[in-house]
Amino acid sequence: MLAKLAVACLWCLSWLPFRAVGALGSLLGTLLYLLPTTRRKVGRANLRACFPERREAEREAILRGHFIAIVRMVLEYGYCWFASPARLSRLVKIEGLEHLKDLPEGTPVILSMPHFTGLDLAGLRLSLETRMVTIYARQKNPWLDAFIRDKRLRLGTGIVFSRQEGVRSSVRALREGYRLYYLPDQDHGLRDGVFADFFGVPAATITGLPRLAGMTKAKVIPCFPRRERGGYTMVLQAPLDDFPSGDLTADARRMNAVIEQQVLQVPAQYFWLHRRFKTRPPGMGSIYVGAARRDDNGEPSILPTD
């Protein structure tokens, strides 16, 4: 019942101008930031680890801006689910589309999208330009899971797979001409990852991106969304040269270095509330002292981190 009520509210908000929804998000995000939540402690710890050279007031301003960006992201799901293709095109501009369009026809492509707050809206917009495949986390609520899956497919320009389906489906889709929208930057331990520095901090980094690129001979295009006053700009960067290199650790370091440069452009819009450094090298203690409450997946609970 609550899920249906939330969807109804987002449907109503989808009729409002982008700046009006942004103003509401600014108010609610500021209020959420003021609450003494576990998420705020996690974000504060991440920023302290990544930007030790910055003044505390500067890091706190980024964190406050991030809570605003998170709430705006949630309110903007109404556009993801209900806006027409024409309105999506107006809300999200694309910068660097030539990096995708100029590739030879049939070239497999992986769009490497870190966890920025506009990733869903920007990905849906990009699907109007090319066939896309995305990987999602199943929701516990069956109705909500079916609803979100349906809305991801509503434009008829892509396919979706759950994480539980593994990589075979994604590899097959890449070989069939779909472009994979891949999120490479969360801590899933070391089973399929290595330690690679992220802003100078050892971070468990999944090696799925170089592995998939190696298996499919895909070009890897880094991308990220930049929220602006009137909408978003989806930034597509030049394909990575000589990637993968055959050295998974070196590739993970290079991937993290690219993400660092993207984060520095819009620091408040990167997803700081994820426990990015929960897996630590032997002998190194947790940076999340005082932020130990977790949900069933080991993550502090406010929002899903798909």
Quick check: is 226 in a domain?
yes
| Model confidence at 304: pLDDT above 50 | no
- Give the domain extent around 193: 2-269
Task: Report the chain's mean pLDDT, rounded to a whole number.
Answer: 92
Amino acid at 145: D
Amino acid at 19: R
> Quick one: pLDDT at residue 256?
98
- Chain-centroid distance, C-alpha 254: 18
Quick check: is 191 in a domain?
yes
Low-confidence winner among 13-17, 50-54, 189-193, 232-236 (lowest mean pLDDT): 189-193
> Quick one: pLDDT at residue 300?
34
3-state secondary structure at position 228: strand
Q: Does the model's pTM come out above 0.75?
A: yes
Pairwise CA distance, residues 171 & 114, whole Å: 20
The percent of residues in the chain predicted with pLDDT above 70, rounded, is: 95
> Quick one: pLDDT at residue 139?
87
Confidence class for position 241, pLDDT limits 50, 70, 90:
very high
Number of domains in the chain: 1
Quick check: is 261 in a domain?
yes
Pairwise CA distance, residues 244 & 251, whole Å: 6
Quick check: is 299 in a domain?
no
Quick check: is 284 in a domain?
no
> Quick one: pLDDT at residue 165?
77
Amino acid at 174: L
Quick check: is 61 in a domain?
yes
> Quick one: pLDDT at residue 298?
39
Low-confidence winner among 261-265, 267-271, 289-293 (lowest mean pLDDT): 289-293
Please write the tens of the pLDDT for every residue from 126-153.
999 999 999 888 888 999 999 999 999 9
Query: Are 82 and 14 contacting, i.e. CB atoms less than 8 angstroms apart?
Result: yes
Pairwise CA distance, residues 158 & 133, whole Å: 5
Confidence class for position 302, pLDDT limits 50, 70, 90:
very low
> What average pLDDT does this structure show over 266-293?
90
- Chain-centroid distance, C-alpha 299: 16
| Model confidence at 4: pLDDT above 90 | yes
> Quick one: pLDDT at residue 288?
95
| Model confidence at 88: pLDDT above 50 | yes
The percent of residues in the chain predicted with pLDDT above 90, rounded, is: 83
Please write the tens of the pLDDT for every residue from 152-173.
999 998 899 887 777 888 899 9
Quick check: is 295 in a domain?
no
| Model confidence at 301: pLDDT above 80 | no
For the beta carbon of residue 148, count every other beta carbon within 10 angstroms.
Answer: 24
> What average pLDDT does this structure show over 253-278?
97
How far apart, in Å, do the first and last CA atoms of the chain sit?
A: 22
| Model confidence at 257: pLDDT above 50 | yes
> Quick one: pLDDT at residue 306?
35
Confidence class for position 292, pLDDT limits 50, 70, 90:
low
> What average pLDDT does this structure show over 267-275?
97
Quick check: is 132 in a domain?
yes
Query: Are 227 and 19 contacting, i.e. CB atoms less than 8 angstroms apart?
Result: no
Backbone region of residue 134 per phi and psi (left: phi > 0; alpha: psi in -120 to 50; beta: other values): beta
> Quick one: pLDDT at residue 166?
74
Query: Are 192 and 239 contacting, i.e. CB atoms less than 8 angstroms apart?
Result: no
Closest CA to 122 of 271, 22, 227: 227
